[in-house]
Structure 1
Amino acid sequence: MKIGLDIMGGDYAPKATVLGAIDAYKELSPGEKLVLIGDKDIAVAILQENNFSPDHFEFVHTTEVIGMGEHPTKAITQKPDSSISVGFKLLKEGAIQAFSSAGNTGAMLVGSMFSVKTIPGVLRPALTAMAPKLKGGFNILLDVGANADCKPEVLVQFGVLGSLFANSVYGIDNPRVTLMNIGEEEEKGNLLCQASYPLMKETKLFNFTGNVEGRDVFSDLSDVIVCDGFTGNVILKMAESFYVATLKKGFKDEFFDRFNYEQYGGSPILGVNAPVVVGHGISSPTAIKNMVLLSRNMVNSGLVDKIRQAFQ
């Protein structure tokens, strides 16, 4: 297995990404190889500064970088030798089996759909995030930003994607899938939720257990929480602020420590034909390491094939 890592993506790249690659290498199995995509000369210099042999990695040298604020589609088409563009080219050709980056999220979404493309039958790929539960474990939340506006049938598909992800990658048996709403009752919510609820209730594709409210995000009422990307992104950013607030207040607590994005590595793009993971822009070496390991786990779980089968 070869896992591609964009070493130029992220606010602290390439130092943080290369250091994260070192940490990831130490946890990979002998048959798992990390391919560093970006400026090879800079990467080798960082490795040598840290007394780590470049021979532990494969390198694909690139000369361009897609900035965090660049227009995704324009950047992908106008910068063919960027680390993100080259990474997706390698993924499409099968030279790597997974690709991850803490770079431009939009470019990662566009790159996924232009290169490996959406799995037939999937209407919209989704981004996921983790919300820790008070009693341990976490809820998988999707979508968290790829699709601000959704149709009811798209939310149903998010339930399928989230359920397969929870079961295949995290070993959650018969995951409980819920719909984010403003009330528990079936008839509550906006037009989208009112139309989505009966579709999710009737489907046999996952274990739907009803509505949850915002107060339930950190409870054990569910394993997967489905919502449109606008709502999911608001929840995600609010959850991230909890961790920052506890740090600023000097408050130490095991539960709030689990809000630290570093533990989860990144957000998988579910519904495309290969494992793709997007990291947080401010990813540290620890976050990069966990992003690589999540990519590895997605390959080993056969998740993409399971999604293909579900949507046949």
Structure 2
Amino acid sequence: MSKLTIALDIMGGDHGPPVILSAAVKAIQNYPDVNFNLCGDEAVISPILSRLTPSARDRVEITHCEQVVEMGEAPTSALRHKKRSSMRRVIELVEQKQADACVSAGNTGALLTLSLYLLKTLSGIDRPALVGMMPTASHHKVVLLDLGANVNCTPDILFQYGVMGSVLAQQLADIERPRVALLNVGEEDIKGNAQVKSADQLFKDAPGINYIGYVEGDDIFTDHADVVVTDGFTGNVALKSSEGLAKLVINEVKRHSQRNFYSRLMAKIAFPLLKSIYNSVNPDQYNGASLIGLRGIVIKSHGNASKDAFYYAIVQAITEARMQVPDKIKTKIETVLLEQL
């Protein structure tokens, strides 16, 4: 099997090339069995080659792109007028089988629009979903989707999300029969809107899915389910709220540990524990939302991602490419649809 190739949009994101290039260098050094195609302004990218060993440089290709999709740019504008942009080029490389996956921290709407236009969805999938892995109390990770690709979802789309999330949990978390749940305002059957209730019935009628019913917001982090399905509006709010809370906890621990000599001493003694807690809730390590349901692997990084956060998005791309996630989703969707006939 030939080496994997990961295409990186160097120009996207709030912090621009410096942060993304630093993450790229780290990935290039840590994954000697992976090739990388860096898409963007060649004059900006070329200097990083001097930071690499000769063997590492041999695994890096630079694709010069004249245009950049701006963070506030309308998706339709990116589609029509940015045909030479770094964002479009990384997706084209996946479409043309010149890359096994791509990563961008750019404009989410533009990335979704370009990915849909160039890659198309898998048969049986109406809309792709942004999906991420979240921490739980038992240190397992839960698959949460949609994180913002589709604000309004039909029951059929929610059901498709559950099937795709189940495959992702099987492949990335090595769970044989992932527990799939619908996010709702209560666990009782009478709770929820019409879309959620209809989706609930679709899951109950699908024997190929290990469906456990409704969960509430606080259940996301309790290891109650392996896959939690919701619409993009609710999922995005849940994601941003959890990230904000994690940052609050981290900052409060730092602040209180520096209040006086006694607190600094106690913080030093408790450093291993504090470091473990920090690592478990640090949002950076959960960066990298998969745009699943497409005929190719597209990873969306946070626009304000740090070097470490973007690096984790690259790792996510490598992992999904090795697992051949789109092929696994295609097989699962076809199986579930046949069971419903």
Range into which the TM-score falls when normalised by the shorter chain: over 0.9
CA contact (8 A) 1:168 1:302 kept: no
Asked if 1 retains the 8 angstrom alpha-carbon contact of 2:250 and 2:278, the reply is: no
Render the CA deviation track for 1:4-61: whole Å, top value 9, x for unaligned: 011111112201111101111122142x20111111221122443x466644411111
Confirm or deny: 8 A CA contact 2:146 2:161 kept in the other structure. yes
Give ranges in structure 1 of 5+ residues lacking alignment: none
Q: Given the two structures, how large is their TM-score scaled by the length of structure 1?
A: 0.94
Q: Is the 8 A contact 2:101 2:318 kept in 1?
A: yes
2:328 paired with 1:292: no
Match of 1:261 in 2: 283
Shift of 1:257: 4.1
Rounded Cα–Cα distance in structure 2 between residues aligned with 1:87 and 1:149: 28
Q: Is contact 2:25–2:52 with CA below 8 Å preserved after alignment? A: no
Q: Look up the SS of the partner of 2:103 in the other structure.
A: strand
The residue aligned with 2:41 is: 39
Of stretches 256-265 and 4-13 in structure 1, the one that deviates more from structure 2 is 256-265
Rg larger for: 2
Deviation per residue, 1:113-141 (Å, 9 max, x gap): 01011111101110012221112112111
C-alpha separation in 2, matches of 1:246 and 1:107: 33
1:197/1:70 CA distance change after superposition, 3 Å: same
Contact 1:265 1:292 in 2 (8 A): no
Q: Return the match for 1:100 from 91, 100, 103.
A: 103
**Aligned partner letter, 1:271:** G
Question: What amino acid sits opposite 1:194 in the alignment?
Answer: K
Quote the Cα distance in structure 1 between the aligned partners of 2:277 and 2:76. Answer: 39
Residue correspondence of structure 1 range 86-125 to structure 2 within 5 A: 86-125=89-128
Partner of 2:155: 152
CA distance in 2, matches of 1:256, 1:131: 14
Q: Could you tell me the TM-score, scaled by structure 2's length?
A: 0.87
2:27 maps to which residue?
Answer: 24
Q: Which residue of 2 aligns with 1:188?
A: 191
| 2:38 maps to amino acid | L
Does structure 2 conserve the Cα–Cα contact (< 8 Å) formed by 1:64 and 1:82? yes
The residue identity in structure 2 corresponding to 1:153 is D
Partner of 1:67: 70
How high is the sequence identity, in percent, across the aligned residues?
Answer: 36
Provide the C-alpha distance between the structure 2 equivalents of 1:63 and 1:123, rounded to a whole number of angstroms.
Answer: 33
Number of equivalent positions: 310
* Mapped partners of 2:32, 2:173: distance in 1: 19
Alpha-carbon contact 1:7-1:38 (below 8 Å) kept:
yes
Equivalent pair of 1:10/1:280 in contact (CA under 8 Å): yes
The answer as to 2:217 corresponding to 1:214 is yes
3-state DSSP class of the match of 2:163? helix
Q: Provide the alpha-carbon RMSD of the alignment.
A: 1.7
Give, in whole Å, the separation in 2 of the partners of 1:75 and 1:64.
Answer: 10
Q: What residue identity is the alignment partner of 1:167?
A: Q
Residue 115 of structure 1 aligns to a residue in which SS? helix
Aligned partner of 1:246 in structure 2 is 249
Unaligned runs of 5+ in 2: 255-273, 335-341
Distance in 2 (alpha carbons) for counterparts of 1:182 and 1:297? 34
Aligned to 1:163: 166
Kindly provide the amino acid, as one letter, of the partner of residue 222 in structure 2: S
Counterparts in 2 of 1:199 and 1:275: CA distance versus 1, 3 Å: same
Moved more, 118-127 or 179-188: 179-188
Deviation at 1:289, TM superposition (A): 1.6
Give me the whole-angstrom Cα distance separating, in 2, the residues matched to 1:143 and 1:298. Answer: 18
